[in-house]
Each structure stands twice: as structure tokens, then as C-alpha cells.
Structure 1
Amino acid sequence: MRRRTFIAALPGAALIPGAANAQAAAPRAPDGPGQGGAPAADPSLPPRWVAGEDRFLRPDVSAGDRPVGASFASRTAAYGMNGAAGTAHPLATQAGIDILRRGGSAVDAAIAINACLGFLEPTSNGIGGDAYAMIWDPKTRKVVGLAGSGASPRGLSLETVRARARGGALPPLGAISVSVPGTVDAWWTMHQRYGRLPWASLLEPAIALAENGAPVPDMIAYYIRRSMAAFARPGTGIEETANALRTWGMADGKGPRTGQVFRNPDLARTLRAIATGGRDAFYTGEIAATIDRYFRRIGGWLRREDLVAHRSEWVEPHRTGYRGADIHALGANTQGIATLQMLNILETFDMGDAGFQSPRSIHLQAEAKRLAYEDRARFYADPHFAKVPVEWLISKEYARQRAKLIRTDRILTPVYPGQAPSRGDTTYFSCADKDGMMVSMIQSNFRGMGSGLVADGLGFMFQDRGQLFSLRDGHPNIYAPGKRPFQTIIPGFATRDGAPWMSFGVMGGDMQPQGQTQIVVNRVDYGLEIQSAGDAPRWHHEGSSQSMGEDAAGLGPTGLLRLESGVPRATQVALADLGWTIGKPDGGFGRYECVEHRMDGDTRVYAAASEMRADGCALAY
């Protein structure tokens, strides 16, 4: 198939009224340079990047010209025949490749990568959070799923939670938002089934990094410093912040600067104990005892008994077809099936004819999101506590009913969830090995670095995932002791003709199903390869109905449609003319990693991609 070239001026911009005057009415670009809103530089003067600025903005300057591939792509995918990895930090990617070269499985590499990222990228993940994975098992030739999600403390009642609520939702910080960390048990459970190398060897790279230190890259330094400032504000409700500031505050208490070497000897000791004692060191041993003592000291609720009771579970992923590809998603208590719902709705439209980055294409995708997220707010919950009508939600017939509500000449309002039948800031990484095993894994502390709480001497922060419980009577996701909260983190996986195709993910809260859908549409409908599919400009819709404290409130009946600056101006104006409230880019468009499996005759070839929105890289060998 001939390579497609994409340019800013595209047919399809006139498919929605108002596009004709797009250039004349184009919205003004954000002020810059820098985050502080400094005046834009005179284009006639030589630009310079002021020391200490987070950004260097020149709206009149675009990316350089690539002689091959999409004009907006940041780089070429990495290719290899023996293994591949893509992560949000180059040192984590290198660690994964090293494990693969030593004969480790893709699961071994995933564990090593995740352990490294907990030190290298604490703004997104760590052993105080939860983990989910989808694994292509080459022996059984199927996708298997693992849910490593912890439950709420058994000693924390609904009455207490409601007494601590703010604005009808759980607070985002402090002990009230902490649930059992599931990550270490998820690693152990995966390794017991699919590991090749000794358990302790998988944690060696992370231990060495935490002891010796590593320079902090731009994005991660920026978000650590933002987190430290947020934790230090009065009125946060965090029971204590001294441990967090001691761990990440550095000399000035504000966090590491870009390029500054950061070390975490407390985390190194914790990982060494886990390397020696396995998962029991964390859930029943001295680490569990330290956690218990800490939460008793600060007046929190997590106890050793909660940790002892925790177990990950193998789950059967759900699946839907999309124009010849099979897209897989985890159910359990995640938002994974929102991706399937969105794709089912979009399959009823000719997305290829709509045109890449056209107003019609983005309009249809955003409307599919709004419909799916109404169901997300109404039905998604821990299936151990609620009967979730998953098969109905992801059925093609239901998608056809929902698709009929979408109009191309106006925005659907109001938007409601379907009527069920009566029967009823994250890190992502991907890796693959020489035998064809592929791992799509996502791990998170939820919002930012997490709850703000760090147990004495352990060097990791506890997640604030509990904020995603509902407090509404009768809701399937209502808070209960020992219950898993609704989860935003979802790995992605796609197969074709019974063979693995893409192990992929897009990090970032409620952006994840929206981002996954855009990746699939870019690849299937617009023919983009894996690197340009991730580099393409994205949209992010905010303001869908919700019963937990995630989406922003007060955004009006149609919410807020944020568009990256790379979306063609004609498209931006046409969408505004259609009635969408267009928001400025805010960095909330997710971060993508992908490993693609392909065959060159009888030879397996991997392609690995990592986009420019993160500090990461992809490698293959």
C-alpha cells in the first residue's frame, strides 16, 4: 500500500458548516514563551529560550521536515527481530532491553521496567499504586489479562468517608483516599506464570538506580516540583508531608531541577527487601508492619490485615472487532470497555471518508466519547460488588442504537446513559521477547504522585485511587470497605487474524480510552504507522457526567473540547462554529508507547514507538 502524506489543509474541513472562514477567524495562539504567560516575542527578532522557562513557544514555527513518513512525526519507529520495549524513561527502556538480552521473558522485562520507573518517574507510578496487564501468550495464542487492583481499607466505613467528603466526592489527598497497593503482587503473580529469570535479578536495575541516582529529565522534574508545591499548600488534608518532602524535596524542598541527580536510598532498601523476600515481604512482612504503624501514627485506616488479604486476579479480556482488527480491553473495575464502546459507535460511520484531522472526524469521535462516558459514569464498578452489564454495553447492536443519536450538523445535548436490560498523571509501557510474548502494562498512583503520604523510611508514595469511589446511594461504584474503586488505568492490545498486532497504551486518567481510540482510528482508518499514529495531534474532551471526583465540573452541557495546537486551524474554527467549546492545550493529551508485531515471511519483526509528549524512548534489537 502506498504511503499516505498528511498536510494541514485537508478535504473534509468543509463537511461541517463554518469552515469556510476558518483562516480569518482562527483562534489566537496561547501567549508565550514560558508557562508564566509572558508576551510573545517579536517574530522579527531572534528568539531565545530564557533560562528557567519550562517552554519555548513560537507559534509561527513548526516542526522540521521529514523526508519520509508523516510530516508531523517526531522520529522513526525502532525495529528489531529479538525484542522491543517502549517506556516513559530511556533508562527504564534500557533496563528492559538488558533483561531481554539476558534471556528474560517479556514479563521479566516488564517487571524490571516497572520497578525502574517507580524510581525514575515517581510522578506517574510506584509500588504504592495498582497495576494492570494484558499479555499475548504465544503458547496458548491468546490474550490474557491480569488485574492488580487493591481494595479500600476494611476498617474505613462509608459513614466516615462521607464525613470527610468535599463537594460530594472523596478528597484527592491524604489517608482517606488510600487503597491497598496492588503492584508488587501483580509483579509476583505474573512472574510465577511467565518468568524465566530469578525474581531477585529483576529488581537489581531499579535498586542500582535508586542507590546511585539518575539525572531527572525535563517533564518528570517539572511534575515533581508541581507535586511538592501542591503537597505544601495549606488545607490539603494530608496528615503529614515531611516524609514526602524528605524523599523528593531535594535541598530547597521544591524537588529536583532538570538534569539534577536524584537518589532514593529508602526505596532501594525497600526493593532489596522485596527482592529477597518476594511479595510476602511487602504484604505480610516488615514492610507491611511499617505501613501499619505509619497509618496508625497519622490517624489513617490502612492496616496489615488489608495487605495480607490482597491478591491479584487473572481475568478474561473483553474484545470487539473494528474493521478487521480485534481490540482487547480489561473489564474488572477499569474503564477499559469505554474504548470498545467508542470504537463500536465509530464503526457505524465512514471514518476514512471523514478525513484525517477533519472537523467531521473529531466531532464524531468526541460524540462517541460523550455517549460512552455517560455509561462509564452509570455502570462501571468492581464486578465483585456490582453486576455490570458488560456484554450489553460492548455489543454492536447497542452501539448502533447509540450511533443513531449522533448528528453531524450539531452537538448532541443533553446526553444520557443507555437503559440497561432488566437482567442486569499513570505510566504505560510495552515490551516483547524473542518467543513472541508481548506485554501491555499500565501502572499508576492515580492523580499526580498520589496521596502525598510516604511511610517512614520506605521511599514510595501511596496511591490516592480511593477518590474514584462514588458516594451516591444505589450507585454500583459506591464506597464500601474492602471494595476496589473504579479504575482509570487500562492497557491496550490489538490482534489481527488471530495473531498479535499492537501492544499499546495512552497514559493519563480519563484521556486513556479517548487516546486509545484515536490511536486505533489513526492506524486503521487513516493508515498511519505506529510512530506517526502517536505523534498526530490529539483531542481531549472533558466534562462528561461522573459520580466520582475525576472530571472537572461546571463545563456546560457539552463540556470542553481541548485541541492540541497541531490540529489544523480550519478544523478548530469549524468545530467552534458547530458549537463546541474549544479549550487551550493543557498537557493532558496522554503519553503513548507501542510495540507492533509483524512478520516478514517466516521472520518476526518488532517495531517500537514512543511519542514526544513524554521523556521516554523505544528500542528494539
Structure 2
Amino acid sequence: MRDFHLPGRSAVYATNGICATSHPLAANVAVQILESGGNAMDAAIAGAVLLGICEPQMTGIGGDCFALFTAPGDDKVYALNGSGRAPAGTDAAALRATGHSVIPPYDPAAITVPGAVDAFCKLSKDWGKVGLKASLAPAIHYAEAGVPVAPRVAKDWSQDYEKLQGRAKESFLVGGKVPQVGTLFRAPDQAEVLRRIAMDGREAFYEGEIAEDMVNTLRGMGGVHTLDDFAATACDYTTPIQGEYGNYELFEHPPNGQGATAVLILNMLKHFDLAGMDPFGAERLHIEAEATKLGYDARNRFLSDMDHMERLEHMLAPETAAKLAALIDPKKVLPAGLPGAEQVHKDTIYITVVDKDRMAVSLIYSIFHGFGSGIASDKFGILFQNRGSGFTLEEGHPNEAGPGKRPMHTIIPGILQQNGKTVAPFGVMGGQYQSTGHARFLSNIADYGMDMQAALDAPRAFVEGDIVKVERGYSDAVRAELSDLGHTVEIPDTAIGGAQVIKIHDNGTLEGASDPRKDGCAIGY
């Protein structure tokens, strides 16, 4: 239990249902959907789409999503891949020929077809109770009426607004300026798009006037996108991948997400006595940083669209983790040269909902960089993700950009089980950090017995390239010890990631926890 003399927040306890996410309006709307007869899937869709209005720098209908979920009374974990594909005209050789060594992130070349809308439509139809109109109604209302800009959102907006181009500036600046805390942000054009989707389903977005707007905008800027690319968009049900740590079974979404990296890092951490280390000490941070370097190196070598990936079993194999863990020296850093994570921070939102029938939904939804590509469609102002930046231009690489391929994604939802019973849907935002974040969260509860809220509150660190970014929650002494081990240490400008979790207790009580690094909360009833 936390020290009530100190700043902090309590977990939320309820019995009928809980939503935990990064903005209170979205959490409240999700609970209202539950109270009015909807289930966890209806509520998760409602909250997620609204987050595109509350946190437009993080997500929106021009983005992608992944979902893990269980059905009422069933602990089988289902997975849905709502990530879009590269246009059929994508040509990595042509990009290399024009001098590019990486995909230009704020260019149509980085824009894959948005997959989230198709996923929301399918999830609502296959698993929801109240229908898509009911789930989209709150976002339509707030897009028209406006949402006051929250503090963390305002901070992110001020850091990312310079990426906005053309129509996107009109849509995402208020009076030509970056909105301040409390400024009302409206998105009436998005309300119109959502209204059409509510009436006519996925076809309203991927065919007809809205699709024409998106395609014409992108082709006018040199993109190779076609109406056929949009019409052919289809999400897929997939089979989750699994790992084990402590007495928990971890379910992750399969590639093209990076969930396999979280499993690999945890498999490496098993070879060290983390439970015997100070949870907030340099020794644990060092081991985690080295495992992250090795795990992300494997990710960057192997992960891709599942249709083009051949080394998934190798990444998940205990023998692979054992060999990598043997490279970690507790007394010094690995040699320089491992790629580690990418340097550029990426953004996303996460929402989890559990309802009275114990359907559990773990859903993550993103446009990749802050404000995505910075490009919006000319007529409706749909902000495009730049998920194509997740491709490589290395010839012959399994993740090489190519026609109809899905790029490697950073976003990963998670679900924990114990003895085959679902105990916690969870997610950790923060772009590249997410695999390490999943591993750290699970280690916090498995190795140190932290409760859900304490596990999210705990200070974080993350190695990016050759730099270990250490939050101010750690002491200067810890930073000095890391430096003595050979790490280059920095304090990040922005807190690392953000997370949400709902624990399902054996007695029927639900426990919701929400990361203080974001504006959100858990709400139950």
C-alpha cells in the first residue's frame, strides 16, 4: 500500500466493469457504454475513437490498431491485426535510387493504408452488442462540441506541431496557434467522417468520397496510393504468441507487432536474480538495458509482416534467450555497435476494458510519430499515420518495404493469465519502449510483488542507441552507478511511456490502474 503522506493515486475498485485509459473523457464514455448495455468491446471502440479527438497527436482514424481480447466466460485469447498495408505501387528500389537510405517519415512514402477503421467495424460486428452507431456517437458529439486540451496533451502538442503540413495545420492548430491547456479543440470534419462510418460501415471510409479525398491528396504529393489499395484493406484474426515469467503466462500479438521482443527480453531476464536486486537500483537497470539492446537487435533483424517472417520461433526459443543472456556482463556494458531501439520517439494510445461478464479487451491504436506523417487529407482533414517508417530499405531484409506488406509495428497490447485464467489485460504506451515496458511491468509484479498501480508508478529507464534515458524518479546515485558501468546517461525531456491495466481478482472484484504520466484514469461502476 502506498504512503498516503506522499503524492500518488489509488487504484480503482469496482465489480460491474472498469475502463482504464489515458484520458478521463474516454474512460467515462466507455463506462457509460457499459452502463447502457454495451459490452467491453463496444466500450473499448467508443473510448478509442474518442481518444483520437482527445489526443489527436497520438492517434486517429488515419491510423492502425491491434487488439487482444477474451469472450465472456471464455479464457481463450483472440487477436485481431488492424494494421494497414503498403500501397501496391511501393518500390523500395525506386526509393533507394532517389538517394533514400530510410523511408522519409513525413512523406507519402511513409503512409500505409489506415487499418483501424476496418478493425473497429469488424470487432463491433463480430463481438459487440450495441452496434457501431452507439460506439461512435460519443466521438461524433465531442468532435463537434469540442474537448478541452489536457495538460499532457498540450505538452505533446507543443513538441510535435512543427511536423504539421498544409491542411493538417488548419485542422490541428486553433486559430493558427498551438492550443494551450483548457483550449477547446474541435474537429467537425472528423465528426462528418465518423457519422458516415456509423451509417454505412467500412465502405464509407475505404470507398467513395472519403477514400477519393485521401487518395487524391496523397497522389497530389507524389504518393502511389490508389482507390484499389483502400478498397482492399482487410484486418485479420491471428493467433497470439505466448511467453511465461514467474507464475504468469503472457499473451502478445504476433508480428508485425513487436510483442515477440517482449517475450525475448523476459526470457533473458529469467537468467538473472532480479528479485534479489533493488527494484529501483542500478544493478536491475543495467541488466534490463543490456537485455533491451540484445532484444531490439534481434527485433530489427527478424521482425516483419508474418507473411515474410521466418525467424519467429527462433526469437521465442528459450535457447536463443539463454545464449543472448550469456553475453550480458553485470559489471560492464556490451560493446558499442548494437542498434538498440530507434532514436525517434513514437506515440500511441492504449485502452483496456473489462465488463460484468468478464469480457476483457486490450486495444492499442496509433498514428506512429506525434501527429503521424503531418499530412492530412484535403477535404476531410484525416491525419495520416506514417507507419511505413517501420519498414527498412535494406535490400533483401524481411522487413524491406514492398507492395502490400505490413511494416514492423511498435504497438503491442498484452494480456496476462495465471493457470489458464485471464487476470489482467494491460498495455504500455511509448513507441519503441513498449517491449521493454511490458517486460518491466511484468517483472514489477512478478519479481517484486508490486500492486498494479505501484507497478505503473515505478520509475522507468530505457536504452535508446547508446544512451540510457533515466527518469527523474531515480536518484543521482543510480545514474552515477550506471555511468561507472560504462553507460551514457541522460534524463529524458518527457516521461517514458504510459500504461494501463485492469486486474481481475478471484473474488470478482476488478482493480483498475492508470499511469500518472498521462492525463487519464481508471473509472468503474
Q: TM-score range by the shorter chain?
A: over 0.9
- Is the counterpart of residue 66 in structure 1 residue 9 in structure 2? no
Q: Which has the higher helix share?
A: 2
Match of 1:564 among 464, 471, 494: 471
Match of 2:45 among 111, 121, 137: 111
The match for 1:49 is none
Mapped partners of 2:482, 2:184: distance in 1: 45
Shift of 1:139: 4.0
Write out per-residue CA displacement over residues 525-581 of structure 1, whole angstroms, 9 at most, x where no aligned residue: 1111111111110001101xxxxxxxxxxxxxxx10011111133222111111111
Write out per-residue CA displacement over residues 450-474 of structure 1, whole angstroms, 9 at most, x where no aligned residue: 1111112323200011111111112
After superposition, the Cα gap between the structure-2 partners of 1:354 and 1:225, relative to the gap in structure 1 and judged at 3 Å, is: closer
Match of 1:205 among 114, 122, 138: 138
After superposition, the Cα gap between the structure-2 partners of 1:588 and 1:156, relative to the gap in structure 1 and judged at 3 Å, is: farther
The match for 2:392 is 470
- Is the counterpart of residue 247 in structure 1 residue 171 in structure 2? yes
Write out per-residue CA displacement over residues 345-375 of structure 1, whole angstroms, 9 at most, x where no aligned residue: 1112111101211121111111111111110
Mapped partners of 2:9, 2:267: distance in 1: 31
Write out per-residue CA displacement over residues 168-209 of structure 1, whole angstroms, 9 at most, x where no aligned residue: 211110211110000001111211221100221110000000
After superposition, the Cα gap between the structure-2 partners of 1:291 and 1:84, relative to the gap in structure 1 and judged at 3 Å, is: same
Mapped partners of 2:79, 2:337: distance in 1: 32
Match of 1:332 among 255, 258, 262: 255
Mapped partners of 1:230, 1:201: distance in 2: 34
The match for 1:618 is 522
The match for 1:591 is 498
- Give the TM-score normalised by structure 1: 0.81
Mapped partners of 1:505, 1:101: distance in 2: 24
Give identity over the alignment, percent. Answer: 38
The match for 1:99 is 33
Match of 1:225 among 158, 162, 185: 158
Match of 1:316 among 239, 249, 253: 239
Three-state SS of the structure 1 residue aligned to 2:371 is coil
Shift of 1:437: 0.7
Q: Do the aligned residues in 2 keep the contact of 1:165 with 1:171 (CA within 8 Å)?
A: no
Shift of 1:295: 2.3
Which has the greater radius of gyration? 1
Q: Do the aligned residues in 1 keep the contact of 2:163 with 2:371 (CA within 8 Å)?
A: no
Q: Do the aligned residues in 2 keep the contact of 1:345 with 1:399 (CA within 8 Å)?
A: yes
Q: Do the aligned residues in 2 keep the contact of 1:382 with 1:477 (CA within 8 Å)?
A: yes
Three-state SS of the structure 1 residue aligned to 2:84 is coil
After superposition, the Cα gap between the structure-2 partners of 1:280 and 1:230, relative to the gap in structure 1 and judged at 3 Å, is: closer
Mapped partners of 1:125, 1:473: distance in 2: 31
The letter for the 2-side match of 1:611 is D
Match of 2:215 among 267, 279, 292: 292
Mapped partners of 1:331, 1:541: distance in 2: 24
Mapped partners of 1:616, 1:459: distance in 2: 26
- Give the TM-score normalised by structure 2: 0.96
The match for 1:399 is 321
After superposition, the Cα gap between the structure-2 partners of 1:273 and 1:75, relative to the gap in structure 1 and judged at 3 Å, is: same
The letter for the 2-side match of 1:409 is K
The letter for the 1-side match of 2:4 is R
Three-state SS of the structure 2 residue aligned to 1:431 is strand
Three-state SS of the structure 1 residue aligned to 2:407 is coil
Q: Do the aligned residues in 2 keep the contact of 1:164 with 1:171 (CA within 8 Å)?
A: no
Mapped partners of 2:444, 2:99: distance in 1: 41
Shift of 1:257: 1.3
Aligned residues: 518
Match of 2:11 among 74, 77, 84: 77
The letter for the 2-side match of 1:128 is G
Mapped partners of 2:511, 2:99: distance in 1: 47
TM superposition outliers: structure 1 runs of 4+ over 4 Å: 163-166, 414-417
| Superposition map of 1:380-529 within 5 A | 380-384=303-307, 386-413=308-335, 425-529=347-451
Q: Do the aligned residues in 1 keep the contact of 2:147 with 2:184 (CA within 8 Å)?
A: yes
Shift of 1:606: 0.9
The letter for the 1-side match of 2:453 is Q
Structure 1, unaligned runs of 5 or more? 6-64, 232-240, 418-424, 544-558
CA RMSD of aligned residues (A): 1.6
Mapped partners of 2:159, 2:94: distance in 1: 30
- Is the counterpart of residue 133 in structure 1 residue 56 in structure 2? no
Structure 2, unaligned runs of 5 or more? 340-346
Shift of 1:299: 2.9
Mapped partners of 2:28, 2:363: distance in 1: 17
Q: Do the aligned residues in 2 keep the contact of 1:515 with 1:589 (CA within 8 Å)?
A: no
Three-state SS of the structure 1 residue aligned to 2:334 is coil
After superposition, the Cα gap between the structure-2 partners of 1:75 and 1:164, relative to the gap in structure 1 and judged at 3 Å, is: farther
After superposition, the Cα gap between the structure-2 partners of 1:565 and 1:416, relative to the gap in structure 1 and judged at 3 Å, is: closer
The match for 1:261 is 184
* Larger mean Cα displacement after TM superposition, 513-522 or 215-224: 215-224
Write out per-residue CA displacement over residues 142-192 of structure 1, whole angstroms, 9 at most, x where no aligned residue: 1111111111111232233224554x2111102111100000011112112
The match for 1:27 is none
Shift of 1:408: 1.1
Q: Do the aligned residues in 1 keep the contact of 2:471 with 2:495 (CA within 8 Å)?
A: no
Q: Do the aligned residues in 2 keep the contact of 1:501 with 1:596 (CA within 8 Å)?
A: yes
After superposition, the Cα gap between the structure-2 partners of 1:254 and 1:163, relative to the gap in structure 1 and judged at 3 Å, is: farther
Mapped partners of 1:181, 1:439: distance in 2: 21
Match of 1:373 among 296, 321, 326: 296
The letter for the 2-side match of 1:533 is A
Shift of 1:508: 1.3
Write out per-residue CA displacement over residues 259-315 of structure 1, whole angstroms, 9 at most, x where no aligned residue: 011111100000000000011111123211222222233332222110111110011
| Superposition map of 1:165-244 within 5 A | 166=100, 168-231=101-164, 241-244=165-168
